[in-house]
Amino acid sequence: MKSAFRTGCLTISRSLNPNPPSLSALHGLRSAAVAPSPRSLRAPPFRAPSPATRCCCSSSSSSAMSGGEAPALPLEKQFEDFRAQLEDSVVLRERIRAVVLEIESTARLMYSSLLLVYLSRPLPEVLDKSKAHIGTLKDNYSRLADILSECPDQYYRYHGDWRSETQTAVSLLAFTHYLETGNLLLHNEAGERLGLNNSQFGLDLEDYLVGVLFMSNELPRYVVNQVTAGDYDCPRKVLKFLTELNAAFRMLNLRNDFLRKKFDGLKYDLRRVEEVYYDVKIRGLASDEDSTGDQRSKENNDSEVVH
Amino acid sequence: MKCSSAIQKIFLMASDSKPQRLRQWASFQSSAAKKARTMTTQSSLKDAFSSYADDLNHLNDKREKVVKASRDITANSKKVIFQVHRISKSNKEEVLEKAHKDLAAVVDQYVAKLVKELRGSDFWKLRRAYSPGIQEYVEAATLCRFCKSGTLLNLEEMNASLSSLSDPSHKPLQINILDYILGLADLTGELMRLAIGRISDDELEYAQKICTFVREIHRELTLLVPRMDEPYDMKTKMETMLQSVMKIENACFGVHVRKSEYNPLLGSGDPSYPLMGVAGGIDL
């Protein structure tokens, strides 16, 4: 059945084509599809030879074309190549999806460790538990990088498949880093933690920035619970941090996209932390860092509320 | 880190509910350390974000230039397509010659500009910015080739012609499969218009060739739809494509049927008879 349809197609294409290629040439082309491809005769000097015909990369090099107007390939042949290449990209996407699901579940575990901070567990324990997952994340991303290395330069073709999971991962790393040091985890630092500081598979800057903003969303809740637990210094520190972060983000020129939307949300986080800081300060609960003379007078207030 | 171990000790001591003095000491200790750390954070934060701002500005500027180049490609490719539609029985050669000349100009001026703006990188990252232009160019180029030789201009040949546009040190812009296929889908719409036009010009055979060609493309693309990166867009195009195919088929049918009843009655001199009732019902 298959061969009858094929000859049918050939007849049709021959009737349209004023210069039909000979049947033997067609057979030659078809067999070239399954064997490793000959180099294109006019390959530019820098282009590295691709090892397989059926790579998911965009250029198909199934035959060498002579100069000027090439003899027309039968319609069918080109589409066969397309089917093969697109099939490869579908398979690649499935493999990517599998790793991304693992990234998502590791991130979930890390998040649940970080949530311990609201259950008043000691900070070192929270940090240790959460940092334990970073190694797994790093492995997951390295697997992702391996998959993508089969198709160089196509990072951004498939980037959407791991974008939101990466943003989440960055936000968890940044939150952990903040709890540990009170500082912002920078782009290159985040990349290092995830093992992503190589040129082929990096941490996209906008993913990083969105991740940081997701982290800032968590800070109002953190501050509120810290105050309830008796840490009255927290609001002032977080407020300072968020104010600096806001000032830093204001240096960026953004487009009207998701990143911009998240950045617009930052000022609401800032406001909520300001409100908590104000509540704590006017009730004289907060100690003032700059005037150490006040430390002693605050001591009395401290003793009333600590447990 | 020295500070964090001090804090660790303090937390452990705090949980044993030791007297206030330790707590006071703890908060003093940590706040002093914090002060030192936040000082460095502030300056490095600003520096870091200043470099992030530069990176984003570069990318966005590049994107804007690429969009502009893409728009020029779209506009001028459309002109080529309209030129091809001026074809008639008598002027085929000149029309196609001009169309091919204009198409070459599109490549030499506007596609070259796009290649220049891309500077050999971010082909996939900025694809959305230039994809419409490239699709329109594919449409124009394949239309010209079909009118000239009845064949489908294939992707490999198109890319071979583009590779000379770029600087040897840059990766060349290559039309990817997805843009080529999307361009082909649009081509079928233009071919439908061409077919109807040819029927009006009493070129039924030409129209039938178009019909066969479009049928083949539709058939081949049907298998590719679910494997595209964004199958949803392609699905809508396929529906439109099927409409186009059927419009051509119905037009050919109309002419064919009317011709068979026409010949014995009036003779073959009157060219306008086959049109009657055919063009009226067609929604272009």
Q: Choose from A19, A77, A79 for mutation: most chain B CBs within 10 A.
A: A79
> Please, are residues A182 and A238 in contact by the beta-carbon 8 Å criterion?
no
Structure tokens at B182: 């999307």
pLDDT at residue A259 greater than cutoff 60: yes
Q: How many CB pairs under 8 A join A and B?
A: 176
> In whole angstroms, what is the distance from residue A36 CA to residue A50 CA?
10
Q: Residue range B174-191: average pLDDT?
A: 95
Apex A85 CA angle, A81 and A143, nearest 5: 160
Residue among A62, A180, A299 minimizing CB distance to B20:
A299
To the nearest whole angstrom, how far is the Cα of A245 from the nearest Cα of chain B? 8
Apex B59 CA angle, B56 and B61, nearest 5: 105
| C-alpha pair distances (Å), A217 with each of A106, A188, A245 | 20, 22, 12
Nearest Cα residue to A160 out of B201, B100, B230: B230
- Asked if B227 lies within 8 A of A76 by C-beta distance, the reply is no
Nearest Cα residue to B196 out of B145, B248, B147: B248
To the nearest whole angstrom, how far is the Cα of B150 from the nearest Cα of chain A? 5
Window from B20-24, B62-66, B144-148 with minimum mean pLDDT: B20-24
Residue among B28, B52, B127 minimizing CB distance to A187:
B52
To the nearest whole angstrom, how far is the Cα of B258 from the nearest Cα of chain A? 25
pLDDT at residue B19 greater than cutoff 90: no
> In whole angstroms, what is the distance from residue A26 CA to residue B195 CA?
29
| C-alpha pair distances (Å), B242 with each of A9, A84, A237, B115, B213 | 20, 24, 64, 34, 13
> Please, are residues B157 and A70 in contact by the beta-carbon 8 Å criterion?
yes
* DSSP H or E stretch at residue A156: helix A155-158
Q: Residue range B137-151: average pLDDT?
A: 96
Q: Choose from B39, B61, B118, B156 for mutation: most chain A CBs within 10 A.
A: B156
Side chain identity at residue A148, one-letter code: L
* DSSP H or E stretch at residue B32: helix B20-85
- Asked if B168 lies within 8 A of A46 by C-beta distance, the reply is yes
> In whole angstroms, what is the distance from residue A250 CA to residue A234 CA?
24
Predicted pLDDT at B259: 78
Q: Where residue B166 falls among pLDDT bands split at 50, 70, 90? A: confident
- Asked if B55 lies within 8 A of A253 by C-beta distance, the reply is no
First to last CA, chain B: 74
Q: Residue range A268-293: average pLDDT?
A: 83
Mark out the alpha helices in A194-285 (DSSP H runs).
205-228, 234-249, 258-282
- Please, what is the angle between helix A75-114 and helix A163-181, to 10°? 20
Q: Where residue B266 falls among pLDDT bands split at 50, 70, 90? A: low
Apex B181 CA angle, B179 and B185, nearest 5: 115
Higher pLDDT, B182 or B261: B182
* Helix, coil or strand: residue A52: coil
Buried-exposed string B206-215: b where 16+ CB fall within 10 A, e elsewhere: bbbbbbbbbe
Structure tokens at A47: 């282009």
Only one residue has tokens 């804090």, namely B7
Nearest CA in chain A to B2: A181
Q: How many residues does chain A have?
A: 307
Predicted pLDDT at B9: 53
pLDDT tens profile A167-196: 999 999 999 999 999 999 999 999 999 999
Window from A27-36, B150-159, B220-229 with minimum mean pLDDT: A27-36
Mark out the alpha helices in B86-230 (DSSP H runs).
92-105, 112-118, 127-149, 155-162, 177-200, 204-224
Residue among B53, B124, B154 minimizing CB distance to A251:
B53
Apex B80 CA angle, B68 and B207, nearest 5: 135
> In whole angstroms, what is the distance from residue B189 CA to residue B81 CA?
11
Side chain identity at residue A70, one-letter code: A
pLDDT tens profile A112-127: 999 999 998 999 999 9
This complex has an ipTM of 0.75
pLDDT tens profile A212-239: 999 999 999 999 999 999 999 999 999 9
Predicted pLDDT at B258: 83
Side chain identity at residue A112, one-letter code: S
Percent of chain A with pLDDT over 90: 65
Residues in B touching A263 (Cβ below 8 Å): none
Q: Where residue A205 falls among pLDDT bands split at 50, 70, 90? A: very high
Higher pLDDT, A294 or B215: B215
Residues in B touching A40 (Cβ below 8 Å): 160
Side chain identity at residue A187, one-letter code: H
Whole-model pTM: value is: 0.74
Residues in A touching B165 (Cβ below 8 Å): none
Apex B237 CA angle, B76 and B158, nearest 5: 45
Q: How many residues does chain B have?
A: 284
Q: Compute CA A89 distance to the chain's CA centroid, rounded to the nearest angstrom.
A: 19
Residue A111 is classified by DSSP as H
> Please, are residues B191 and B210 in contact by the beta-carbon 8 Å criterion?
yes
- Asked if A248 lies within 8 A of B176 by C-beta distance, the reply is no
